[in-house]
Amino acid sequence: MAVAWEDSVRDSINTLYLLFSAYLVFIMQLGFAMLCAGSVRAKNAMNIMLTNVVDAVVGSISYYLFGFAFAFGTGSASNPFIGTSFFALHSIPNGDYDYSFFLYQWAFAIAVAGITSGSIAERTQFTAYLIFSFFLSGFVYPIVSHWVWSSSGWLSPSSSDLLFGSGAIDFAGSGVVHLVGGIAGLWGAYVEGPRVGRFDAFRKPVPMRGHNATLVVLGTFLLWFGWFGFNPGSFDKILVPYTSTTNQGNWTGISRTAVTTTLAGSMAGITTLFGRRLLVGHWDALDVCNGVLGGFVAITSGCSVVEPWAAIVCGFVSAWVLIGLNILALKLNFDDPLEAAQLHGGCGAWGLIFTGLFAKEEFVIQVYDSGESGVSRPYGLFLGGGWALLGSQVVEAVAIVGWVSVTMGPLFYALRRLKILRISVQEEVAGLDISSHGGYAYHTHLDETGPHYYMDYARLQNER
């Protein structure tokens, strides 16, 4: 039977919207690459940029082969824990998913590995990057996304059997994406230990600032730009009218989501600017950039279901969460060059809790029931919605921490026992660029006194 032209136009516009959102999310890989490169020392810039490329290419294969199936596979054998069909995109497109949906979800999957690579930067063997990136994007992350984003997932707000009558609202992935990447990075950095020289003999931190603030700022703005695909794009479709109104639809929620995203990141940046000024005595551009990103991470869960004023509250608290966790990390001698575990893990967890406190019932019904009249759903505790939604949010956070810990923790320990996780002290001092990648990312190295070419490095190793 021929499809009506109205349906064809609607589907085409929705597909174009989702594809455009996927392209925006993919631009975040460039943002991650620039942010990471600027946040490490110059002698490791080529290595960290290569790992971002690896996250994309390795993640593409693993997510195509089985990641998407684990996340969204449905059918007679579907279950609340893991998907069981659509391996290697078999039977795609179908009535539920098409290629544009796969591409959009793939862009999310490769972002998770990028988060983790920042936590273990400047001291990790390249082989280990290949292994953990494949495992994280192809297995660990997809199962969590199945729990929350598949209609059969046990935490899904679209499930036929809602947890606590609510399900967990993690609209664009404060938990599914950021908490997963942050906890994986936490285990990686913990198992590897701090970089050589990061803490002195008295366990006091020694500053190891990134080498290029310009790249950090460029990366931050690229990530900000990409977040407009990350959060608003998670609606999947734009031409969905709300049945309870005459002039509103997903296009309204998408616009609101872009506003809440902007406000949360901006408030977090301002709070970090003045907060760090009080703590360290100067205005720090790099700290502000991380503060902005922390606000984006936190609002990602509830971006579609909260008022703009609540987004400002979210950003304010997320800044202090990040500042506090960074102070705690130094006291515990925990070394994360990009603060990824603290930023994505800590702010991601706060984002889940925030949604359970501030979600507005009207917006929840719009997003998950297309604004249908007569529908009632649990909503934010502070707005009178009871404990059901907050309870679901806490369960999601605990489940993610547990799942990632029992999968990625043993993986990093196994890599260490096999002696393929951390580079040698000599290689770390010389820098990964010269010891593993044939030369530095830059032609001149005025701040480095070591060898400038791989042949020089190899000759020095033979002389020892």
Report how far residue 147's alpha carbon sits from residue 194's, in angstroms, rounded to the nearest whole number.
34
Q: Is the pLDDT of residue 446 over 70?
A: no
Q: Contact at 8 Å (CB) between 404 and 184?
A: yes
Q: Is the pLDDT of residue 456 over 60?
A: yes
Give helix 308-331 / helix 285-299 axis angle, nearest 10°.
120
Classified as helix, coil or strand, 426 is helix
Mean pLDDT of 412-425: 94
pTM above 0.85, yes or no: yes
Mean pLDDT of 401-423: 96
CB-count burial class (<10 Å; 0-12, 13-18, 19+) for 57: exposed
348-372 pLDDT per residue, tens: 999 999 999 999 999 999 999 887 8
Q: What b/e sequence results for 284-317 when a residue is b if at least 16 CB atoms lie within 10 Å of its CB, and e otherwise?
A: bebbbbbbbbbbbbbbbbbbbbbbeebbbbbbbb
The model's confidence at residue 173, banded by pLDDT at 50, 70 and 90, is: very high
pLDDT at 162: 92
Place of tokens 């790249």: 215
CB-count burial class (<10 Å; 0-12, 13-18, 19+) for 221: middle
The model's confidence at residue 3, banded by pLDDT at 50, 70 and 90, is: low
Classified as helix, coil or strand, 124 is strand
263-273 pLDDT per residue, tens: 999 999 999 99
Classified as helix, coil or strand, 241 is strand
Residues 6+ apart with CB under 8 A from 250: 235, 237, 238, 239, 240, 241, 242
Dig out the tokens for 48 from the structure.
């960290």
Q: Contact at 8 Å (CB) between 130 and 54?
A: yes
Tell me how far CA of residue 222 lies from CA of 28, 30, 137, in angstroms.
Answer: 6, 7, 22
CATH 1.10.3430.10 in the chain: give the residue spans.
7-422
Q: Is the pLDDT of residue 247 over 90?
A: no
pLDDT at 78: 77
pLDDT at 297: 98
Report how far residue 24's alpha carbon sits from residue 226's, in angstroms, rounded to the nearest whole number.
5
Percent of the chain with pLDDT over 90: 78
Q: What b/e sequence results for 145-162 when a residue is b if at least 16 CB atoms lie within 10 Å of its CB, and e otherwise?
A: bbbbbbebbbbbbebeeb
Mean pLDDT of 439-444: 76
- H or E element that contains 22: helix 5-39
Phi (first) and psi of residue 124, to 5 degrees: -115, 135
Report how far residue 31's alpha carbon sits from residue 111's, in angstroms, rounded to the nearest whole number.
10
Mean pLDDT of 245-252: 89
Report how far residue 383's alpha carbon sits from residue 362's, in angstroms, rounded to the nearest whole number.
11
Q: What is the mean pLDDT of the chain?
A: 92
Q: Is the pLDDT of residue 419 over 60?
A: yes
Report how far residue 208's alpha carbon sits from residue 53's, in angstroms, rounded to the nearest whole number.
24
Dig out the tokens for 410 from the structure.
């043993």
7-40 pLDDT per residue, tens: 889 999 999 999 999 999 999 999 999 999 999 9
pLDDT at 458: 67
Residues 6+ apart with CB under 8 A from 61: 134
| Dihedral sign (CA 390, 392, 396, 402) | positive
Q: Is the pLDDT of residue 58 over 80?
A: yes
Q: Is the pLDDT of residue 240 over 60?
A: yes
CB-count burial class (<10 Å; 0-12, 13-18, 19+) for 92: middle
CATH 1.10.3430.10 for the 7-422 domain, yes or no: yes
The model's confidence at residue 461, banded by pLDDT at 50, 70 and 90, is: low
Q: Is the pLDDT of residue 452 over 70?
A: no
Dig out the tokens for 408 from the structure.
């990625």
DSSP assignment of 319-375: HHHHHHHHHHHHHTT---TT-HIIIIIIHHHHHHHHHHHH--HHHHHHHHHTT-TT-
Query: When comparing pLDDT for 452 and 23, which is higher?
Result: 23
pLDDT at 319: 97
187-233 pLDDT per residue, tens: 999 999 999 999 998 899 998 989 999 999 999 999 999 999 999 99
- H or E element that contains 21: helix 5-39
Report how far residue 209's alpha carbon sits from residue 216's, in angstroms, rounded to the nearest whole number.
11
Q: Is the pLDDT of residue 460 over 70?
A: no
Q: Is the pLDDT of residue 1 over 60?
A: no
pLDDT at 439: 82
Q: Contact at 8 Å (CB) between 332 and 137?
A: no
313-347 pLDDT per residue, tens: 999 999 999 999 999 999 999 999 999 999 999 99
CA angle 317, 360, 356 (to 5 degrees): 50
Q: Is the pLDDT of residue 242 over 70?
A: yes
pLDDT at 448: 56
DSSP assignment of 381-424: GGGT--SHHHHHHHHHHHHHHHHHHHHHHHHHHHHHHTT-SB--
Mean pLDDT of 54-81: 90
81-135 pLDDT per residue, tens: 999 999 999 999 988 899 999 999 999 999 998 899 899 999 999 999 999 999 9
